[in-house]
């Protein structure tokens, strides 16, 4: 190659290299996180912008499994409460109306039944939620008796039940076997707590406490001598602020109160690791949204054969910033932005954060997910015509595109 040709080649190579550097540099600039990290009272606070690092993405779904069959007792469900999936892909269905937990393998084949109706050891009375201890495979089940019944991974009852002083609505087990969850103290002025409880049912630490604004409509009052009786309809609605908790991994938990956009991540010793915040303006509750709440209340009263009272319902100053907290097996954190609903015509919007607290994506999911796990999500389905209940699993076709 002559000198002139060499100079031309070097010149073109330099231009191409410079162009590549500019393109890569520009791409990096586009993906630069625009938040800040500060310290408040010795705690790291990650302040995220309203703009996600990787933008918006919609999950592309393909149904690949359906569990439910009215002709087979093992597949016949009544009032499914929730779903859980273990590390092997086995599916646990909380079949509340039948007072049992049904277990299926990842192909949807029936494996076993855990529990049965009753008050004795290993028996269940309206099970509400479960958690699986990843250290030993034990299955912990909470029912309406404020008892956590413990079963081994083969479904045999272990005589180490945990008795609680309060109701437990959502819970997880850490690597030491302690319970982390959302507890509920009923009453005219009920309270919710985020607590850490040991295996004897003793409270180790309370992280958050709120009074839930339970509303009521008085329907009738009667008086006989010195005795008065009042009959009322008690209710809450989906625009009330609430507490939520989720397990990020075996040693880490995250919780938050939906009045503000703030999430707190703690380790299993109870130490605060950091606080996650997101820059987002509060949203007012619209007239149409309020009307839907009224319509639901009227519908519920009509089902009970009650008259339609003329009532005024107080709403909070703005919508909750979120309605649930979930996580996947990659330790990404999913914050639900829509009221919990299974309506097929609603796209469910989630803010997705990394385990370290950075706002990664705004994700749109066309169907409400109970579980997001290893490239799949699981949901409940009810046939509107027959009332038949089933569990469905969807493959997330673009799962590999989701960055950590």
Q: Is residue 23 part of a domain?
A: no
Q: In the chain, how many domains are there?
A: 1
Query: Sorting pLDDT into bands at 50, 70 and 90, what band is 391?
Result: very high
* Burial group, residue 14, by CB count within 10 angstroms (0-12, 13-18, 19+): exposed
User: Quick one: average pLDDT of 211-234?
Assistant: 71
Q: Is residue 95 part of a domain?
A: yes
Q: Is residue 4 part of a domain?
A: no
The predicted model scores a pTM of: 0.87
pLDDT tens digits, 298-316: 888 888 777 666 667 889 9
Q: Is residue 28 part of a domain?
A: no
CA separation for the pair 224, 338 (Å, rounded): 47
pLDDT tens digits, 243-277: 999 999 999 999 999 999 999 999 999 999 999 99
pLDDT of residue 6: 45
Instruction: Identify the domain containing residue 67 by its residue range.
Output: 33-401
Q: Is residue 84 part of a domain?
A: yes
Residue 93's nearest CA partner among 106, 105, 103 is 103
| 3-state secondary structure at position 146 | coil
CATH code of residue 227: 2.120.10.30
Residue 275's nearest CA partner among 43, 36, 9, 35 is 43
Q: Is residue 9 part of a domain?
A: no
pLDDT of residue 314: 85
Q: Is residue 8 part of a domain?
A: no
Mean pLDDT score across all residues of the chain: 88
Lowest mean pLDDT, pick from 65-69, 220-224, 324-328: 220-224
Name residue, tokens 């954060």: 353
pLDDT of residue 294: 86
pLDDT tens digits, 74-103: 999 999 999 999 999 999 999 999 999 999
Q: Is residue 287 part of a domain?
A: yes
For residue 150, pLDDT over 90 is answered with: yes
Extract the runs of DSSP E, i.e. beta strands, from 225-294. 227-235, 243-249, 252-257, 262-267, 272-278
pLDDT of residue 13: 39
């Amino acid at each position: 190659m002559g000198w002139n040709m060499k100079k031309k080649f070097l010149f073109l190579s330099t231009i191409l290299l410079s162009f590549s550097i500019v393109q890569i540099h520009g791409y990096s600039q586009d993906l630069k996180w625009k938040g800040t990290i500060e310290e408040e009272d010795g705690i790291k606070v990650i302040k995220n912008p309203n703009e996600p690092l990787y933008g918006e993405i919609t999950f592309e779904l393909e149904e690949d499994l359906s569990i439910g069959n009215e002709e087979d007792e093992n597949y016949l469900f009544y009032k499914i409460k929730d779903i859980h999936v273990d590390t092997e892909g086995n599916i646990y269905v909380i079949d509340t109306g039948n007072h049992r937990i049904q277990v299926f393998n990842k192909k949807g084949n029936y494996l076993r039944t855990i529990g049965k109706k009753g008050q004795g050891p290993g028996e269940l009375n309206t099970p509400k939620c479960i958690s699986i201890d990843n250290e030993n495979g034990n299955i912990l089940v909470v029912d309406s008796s404020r008892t956590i019944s413990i079963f081994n991974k083969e479904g045999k009852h272990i005589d180490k039940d945990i008795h609680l002083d309060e109701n437990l609505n959502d819970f997880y087990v850490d690597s030491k076997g302690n319970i982390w969850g959302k507890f509920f103290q009923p009453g005219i002025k009920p309270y919710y707590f985020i607590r850490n409880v040991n295996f004897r049912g003793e409270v180790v630490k309370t992280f958050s406490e709120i009074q839930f604004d339970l509303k009521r409509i008085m329907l009738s009052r009667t008086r006989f001598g010195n005795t008065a009786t009042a009959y009322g309809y008690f209710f809450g609605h989906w625009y009330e602020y609430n507490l939520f908790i989720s397990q990020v991994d075996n040693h880490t938990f995250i919780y938050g109160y939906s009045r503000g956009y703030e999430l707190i991540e703690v380790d299993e010793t109870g130490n605060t690791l950091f606080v996650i915040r997101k820059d987002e303006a509060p949203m007012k509750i619209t007239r149409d949204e309020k009307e839907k709440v009224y319509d639901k209340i009227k519908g519920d009263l009509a089902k009970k054969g009650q008259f339609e009272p003329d009532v005024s319902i107080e709403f909070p100053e703005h919508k909750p910033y979120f309605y649930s907290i979930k996580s996947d097996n990659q330790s990404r954190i999913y914050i639900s932005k829509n009221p919990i609903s299974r309506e097929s015509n609603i796209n469910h919007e989630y803010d997705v954060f990394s385990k370290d607290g950075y706002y990664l994506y705004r994700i749109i999911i066309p169907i409400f997910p109970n579980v997001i796990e290893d490239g799949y999500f699981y949901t409940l389905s009810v046939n509107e015509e027959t009332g038949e209940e089933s569990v469905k699993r969807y493959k997330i076709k673009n799962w590999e595109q989701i960055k950590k």
